[in-house]
Every structure is written in C-alpha cells, then in structure tokens.
C-alpha cells in the first residue's frame, strides 16, 4: 500500500513561495493498492493535480477511470477539486463516492447542489463521466482488496474518519477532528480508527495559542494530534490540514516542537505531510 499526497492544506488553498515545500492545495490523497483501482481520500483542490497525473495513463491504455473516493465531509476545502477532476470529463468514467449521510437530503442531492449555478457555471450532471454516491454511516465495508472502516469524528457537520487495511498495513485518515476542550480524552470511534495504525494522518491545524481563540472551530492542536496517536498506539503520525497562516518555516517549527512532546516518545515518528510526497507502507 502506498499513499501519495496531492493536497495537505486546510480551510482554503494558498500559493506563494512561503508554501513551496509543504504545498498549498487542500485535502486529497491517493492510496495505491496492487491490483486495485485508485482509492482517493477527499476531493479538495489537490484532486485537480491527481487527475492530471492519472489522465495520460488512462488515455494511453484507452480506458476511462474506474475509482473510489472516501469523502470525510462536505466543507468546501474537501470538495473544491471535484469539478476540475479531468478524468470525470471522459465518457465511461465512474467515480464511486462514499460520504457521510446528511441530516437533510441525500449525499447526492447535497453535493450536486454545491456544484451548480450560481456557485459554479455547470452542473455535475453535465460531466460525461458518472459519479455514484453512497450515503455512509459508522460501518465497515470493502473497496477492492481493502477493508475500510468509517466512523463519525467530532467536527461541525456530519464528518467521517476512515481506516484502510490492505496488504497487512493500516492507514488511518482523520483530516478534520474537533479536539475536546480538555485536549486529553479521545472518543471510542476515533480510537477504533487509529488503533495500531502504521500511519495516522491527523488534523493538526492549530497551535495551543491559536486554539485558545478557535476552540470551537472544529480542529485539533498539534499536541492533541500527538496525544491521539500515542493513545491509539499508532506507529507514525503525519500532521495534516496545515493552517493557511502556517508557512513552511512555521511548519518546520511545529514539527520540531511536536517531536519534543512527552507523548511523542510513544510514537516511532512524527512528521508533517507534504504535497507530492509518496509513502510506501510496504506489505506484510
């Protein structure tokens, strides 16, 4: 199993020299499992670059895209790449999207409503490819050879985290996670996702100082991300969903500080996710 990061930023995309090393696109990962179709985590602005990467191979093989996406929630930074995903403009393409069941209306109705005039010039129903939506709750299901676990994660709006098990390895993905005010307790659902993960990709948007004024904005501190990883027995933590105000040098300092936290001693490695980085989890 291999994970490649096409977007690691939170809240909104950003550009400029200050973001050159870690990147400015919003949440999007490609999980590659030998013999399986592409498995995509979230549909942020990084999805456009992922589509550009996939398109030449698809055309060379003369076949349209067949892929699955696991969508954590419907905030703009996690869906903005969808209209710009080039493979969906090819006839015969199919993207199966699992996402959280909505309080009002289906996932399909809600997401189609976000990509239409006056918010966007065309509707997704005009794409030549097909998007199949699957309302998802706390459940376990298979995607090809992968076992996927979905659990509710504290965050404004219905939000899921995911655990992917394949080739004897485990990747846990929680890009948006509201830390509790005590920044100590961890919900059972989160532990079920993260337990023993080889890699945990976790929301680490705020410093402790920033959290003091944004405690109900839906995100975790760096220290709480380390706490979750240590409590769950994750082997490696990748800090994710970097705040737009955090430039490369800020993230360098954040990683350095995170590695010095007492809980970090219970984790093999603490790093920050970088756009364009590929991590081979291997197989066992």
Task: Give pLDDT tens digits for 254-273.
Answer: 999 999 999 999 999 999 99
Predicted pLDDT of residue 206: 98
pLDDT of 159 strictly over 70? yes
State phi, psi for 119 to the nearest 5 degrees: -80, -25
pLDDT of 283 strictly over 80? no
CATH code, domain carrying 133? 3.60.15.10
pLDDT band for position 124 (50/70/90)?
confident
The parent domain of residue 256 ranges over: 2-280
Asked if residue 85 lies in contact with residue 57, where contact means CB atoms within 8 angstroms, the answer is no
The predicted-structure confidence for 165-179, as pLDDT tens digits, reads as follows 999 999 999 999 999
> Residue 65 and residue 67: Cα distance in Å, rounded?
6
Domain count of the fold of the chain: 1
Which residues, at least 6 apart from 260, have a Cβ–Cβ distance to it below 8 Å?
none
For 3, 62, 151, 246, 255, the CA distances from 21, given in Å and listed in that order, are: 18, 35, 32, 12, 14
| Model confidence pTM above 0.85 | yes
Predicted pLDDT of residue 170: 98
| Average model confidence (pLDDT) across the chain | 96
Predicted pLDDT of residue 284: 64
pLDDT of 139 strictly over 80? yes
The predicted-structure confidence for 5-62, as pLDDT tens digits, reads as follows 999 999 999 999 999 999 999 999 999 999 999 999 999 999 999 999 999 999 999 9
Predicted pLDDT of residue 2: 97
Predicted pLDDT of residue 169: 98
Closest residue by Cα to residue 234 from 263, 277, 272? 263
Asked if residue 72 lies in contact with residue 100, where contact means CB atoms within 8 angstroms, the answer is yes
> Residue 73 and residue 75: Cα distance in Å, rounded?
6
pLDDT of 282 strictly over 90? no
**Average pLDDT rounded to a whole number, residues 85-105:** 95
> Residue 37 and residue 199: Cα distance in Å, rounded?
21
Asked if residue 77 lies in contact with residue 26, where contact means CB atoms within 8 angstroms, the answer is yes
State phi, psi for 48 to the nearest 5 degrees: -65, -45
> Residue 270 and residue 190: Cα distance in Å, rounded?
19
Percentage of residues in the chain having pLDDT higher than 90: 92
């Amino acid at each position: 199993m291999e994970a490649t990061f096409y977007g690691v930023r939170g809240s909104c995309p950003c550009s400029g020299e200050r973001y050159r090393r870690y990147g400015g696109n919003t949440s999007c990962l490609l999980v590659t499992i030998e013999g399986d179709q592409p498995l995509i985590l979230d549909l942020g602005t990084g999805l456009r670059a992922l589509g550009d990467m996939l398109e030449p191979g698809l055309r060379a093989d003369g076949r349209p895209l067949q892929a699955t996406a696991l969508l954590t929630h419907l905030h703009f930074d996690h869906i903005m790449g969808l209209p710009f995903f080039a493979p969906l403009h090819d006839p015969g393409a199919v993207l199966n999207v699992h996402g959280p069941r909505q309080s009002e209306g289906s996932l399909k109705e809600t997401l189609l409503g976000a990509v239409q005039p006056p918010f966007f010039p065309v509707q997704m129903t005009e794409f030549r490819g097909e998007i199949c939506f699957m309302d998802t709750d706390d459940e376990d299901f298979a995607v090809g050879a992968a076992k996927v676990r979905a659990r509710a994660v504290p965050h404004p709006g219905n939000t899921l985290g995911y655990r992917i098990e394949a080739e004897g390895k485990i990747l846990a993905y929680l890009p948006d996670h509201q830390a509790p005010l005590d920044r100590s307790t961890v919900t059972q659902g989160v532990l079920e996702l993260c337990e023993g993960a080889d890699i945990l990709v976790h929301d680490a948007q705020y410093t402790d100082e920033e959290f003091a004024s944004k405690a109900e904005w839906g995100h975790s501190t760096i220290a709480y991300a380390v706490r979750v990883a240590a409590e769950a027995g994750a082997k490696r933590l990748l800090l994710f969903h970097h705040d737009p105000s955090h430039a490369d040098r800020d993230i360098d300092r954040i990683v350095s500080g995170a590695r010095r936290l007492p809980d970090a001693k219970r984790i093999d490695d603490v790093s920050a996710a970088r756009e364009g980085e590929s991590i081979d989890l291997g197989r066992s």
